[in-house]
Amino acid sequence: MRTEFCRRLGIEYPIFAFSHCRDVVAAVSRAGGIGVFGLNAYTDPTEIRAQLDWLDAHIGDRPYGIDVVIPQKHEGKGSGVTDIAAFEALLAKMIPEGHKAFRDRVLAENGVPELPPDAERMGLLGWTETSAAPALAEALRREKCVLVANALGTPPAEVVRRLQESGKLVGALCGKVGQAVRHREAGLDFVVAQGSEGGGHTGETGSIVAWPQIIDAVAPLPVLCAGGIANGRQVLAALGMGAAGVWTGSLWLTAVEAAAQPAEKALYFNASSEDTVRSRAWTGKKARVLRNAWTDAWERPDAPEPLGMPLQGLLTMEAMQRTGRCIDRPGAQRCAFAPVGQVVGMLEREESCRDIVARLVHEYLDAHERLQGLLDAGR
């Protein structure tokens, strides 16, 4: 099961676990895979430093990666504003009052209470080059951080150069062959080929069609397959197509170590694979999430057109915060931000990260043995 890319990174299994929870990242790396920490929720350098300090202290001698979001096109790009607070203020002025009123109306319709007057409002996420810069700067200092992936588009050339000069491997996600080729031409070290089944921002093409096309288009560049992976049979399918590993995300949302509240995990446990939708309602770009009252509302005739990224995310941040504070309430659950792939229908119970990794390996070996048996039977 160990690939050449595994050996290059010093890991035992080609299992890459993307998570916004540092506990999951550390646990997967300790179990022989590699955790990839989604840092787009952090823009404050002090907080980023604290998170990575914790990770360095709890991951042992194992490596990890980070994931950032630097879209090639976004609102406010080219403004020349590099200070995060000033950039956020600039973007906030671009949000129409009608969009704010619609947001508040949907939340009120579902009985989601307003934030207390003294509550600290969450601001811009790390969804631009400006706001992702602190995470990248801190990652450069970390020896155990061995790779950096960009979730949207090819990273800027200067970012790629600085990371590679520091010894980091740099990759990016894609859902189309053309995007993968641009990643290769930009000199990236690996590509993550994500099918439409995946959670979060995805393209239109399914994994079983996208994976082999992208693998062939950028060969011999290592490709990690993402979208629709929750068991070892799916891992075998990806590696059988020529992948260097698998990139998993939704699988870890309900892990024992995941920071989600029980009511949040229940949303996933109670959902089927048919309960997701690709919607612009949360970030401005199509992202696969659980379909609920919030996503339905943004499809109504009276709904405004979702704003471009990162304006829609800045607008909906208050909705995320308000529902998160009272997630035990049915109304909040109906409006919760729940990004997840179609494998949600396969998430049935809590498992520790170590047990998930072991299960993937054993299921892979069982499936491999079955295929070998078919070959032997045909001789």
SS (H, E, C) the chain: CCCHHHHHHCCCCCEEEEECCHHHHHHHHHCCCEEEEECCCCCCHHHHHHHHHHHHHHCCCCCEEEEECCCCCCCCCCCCCCCHHHHHHHHHCCCCHHHHHHHHHHHHHCCCCCCCCCCCCCCCCCCCHHHHHHHHHHHCCCCCEEEEEECCCCCCHHHHHHHHHCCCEEEEEECCHHHHHHHHHCCCCEEEEECCCCCEECCCCCHHHHHHHHHHHHCCCCEEEECCCCCHHHHHHHHHCCCCEEEECHHHCCCCCCCCCHHHHHHHHCCCHHHEEEECCCCCCCEEEECCHHHHHCCCCCCCCCCCCCHHHHHHHHHHHHHHHCCCCHHHHHCCCCECCHHHHHCCCCCCHHHHHHHHHHHHHHHHHHHHHHHHHCC
Is the distance from CB of 165 to CB of 186 less than 8 angstroms? no
Residue 126 is predicted with a pLDDT of 65
Is residue 344 included in any domain, yes or no?
no
Residue 203 lies in a domain: yes
Residues 8 and 59 in one domain: yes
Cα 144–chain centre separation:
20
Q: Domain holding 170: CATH number? A: 3.20.20.70
CA distance 223 to 218: 8
Res. 181: pLDDT tops 90: yes
194-219 average pLDDT score? 96
First to last CA, the chain: 25
C-beta of residue 224 within 8 angstroms of C-beta of residue 34? no
Distance separating alpha carbons of residues 34 and 239, to the nearest angstrom: 17
Asked, for residue 79, whether it belongs to a domain, the answer is no
Q: 277 and 301, same structural domain?
A: yes
Residues 224 and 273 in one domain: no
pLDDT in tens, 114-169: 988 887 777 767 677 777 888 899 999 999 999 999 998 899 999 999 999 999 99
Work out the percent of the chain whose per-residue pLDDT is above 70: 99
User: What total of structural domains would you count in the chain?
Assistant: 2
Question: In the prediction, which pLDDT does 38 show?
Answer: 94
Asked if 137 and 227 sit in the same domain, the reply is yes
Task: Let me know if residue 220 belongs to a domain.
Answer: yes
What pLDDT band is residue 90 in, cutting at 50, 70 and 90? Answer: confident
231 pLDDT above the threshold of 90: yes
**Using 50, 70 and 90 to split pLDDT, how confident is the model at 210?**
very high
- Domain span at 214: 4-74+127-258+349-377
Average pLDDT over residues 247-260: 96
Tokens of 241: 């197509």
Beta strand pairing call for 190-194 and 223-226: parallel
Mean pLDDT of the chain: 93
Residues 199 and 51 in one domain: yes
- What phi and psi values does residue 287 have, to the nearest 5 degrees? -135, 140
Instruction: Quote the CA–CA distance of 66 and 36 in Å, as a whole number.
Output: 5
| Whether residues 38 and 146 fall in one domain | yes
Residue 341 inside a domain? The answer is no
Longest dimension (CA), the chain: 74
Examine the pLDDT at 78 and tell me if it is beyond 80: no
Most confidently predicted of 44-53, 238-247, 312-321: 238-247
> Does the residue 342 lie in any domain?
no
pLDDT given for residue 378 in this prediction: 73
Answer yes or no: do 131 and 158 share one domain.
yes
pTM of full prediction above 0.85:
yes
Q: Are 224 and 247 in contact (CB under 8 A)?
A: yes
Sign of CA dihedral 93, 96, 97, 101: negative
Residue 340 maps to a domain: no
Please report the pLDDT score of residue 1 as a whole number. 82
CA distance 352 to 251: 11
| Cis upstream peptide for 220 (omega within 30°) | yes
Mark whether 134 and 275 lie in a shared domain.
no
Q: Does 251 lie in the same domain as 203?
A: yes
Q: Of 39-53, 200-214, 221-235, 265-279, which range is least confident?
A: 39-53
- Whether residue 211 is predicted with pLDDT greater than 70 in this model: the reply is yes
pLDDT at 86: 86
Cα(100)–Cα(6) distance, integer angstroms = 47
Count of CB atoms situated within 10 Å of the CB of 14 = 26
Instruction: Check pLDDT > 90 for residue 43.
Output: no
Reference 23, options 59, 49, 50, 53; nearest CA is 59
pLDDT confidence bin for 23, thresholds 50/70/90? very high
Q: Are 147 and 222 part of one and the same domain?
A: yes
The C-alpha torsion from 113 through 114 and 117 to 118, rounded to 10°, is 70
- pLDDT-derived band at 74 (thresholds 50, 70, 90) equals confident
How far apart CA 163 and CA 146 sit, in angstroms, is 10
Query: Looking at the structure, do residues 171 and 238 belong to the same domain, yes or no?
Result: yes
| Residue 343 lies inside a defined structural domain of this protein | no
Q: What's the one-letter identity of residue 92?
A: A
Residues 47 and 194 in one domain: yes
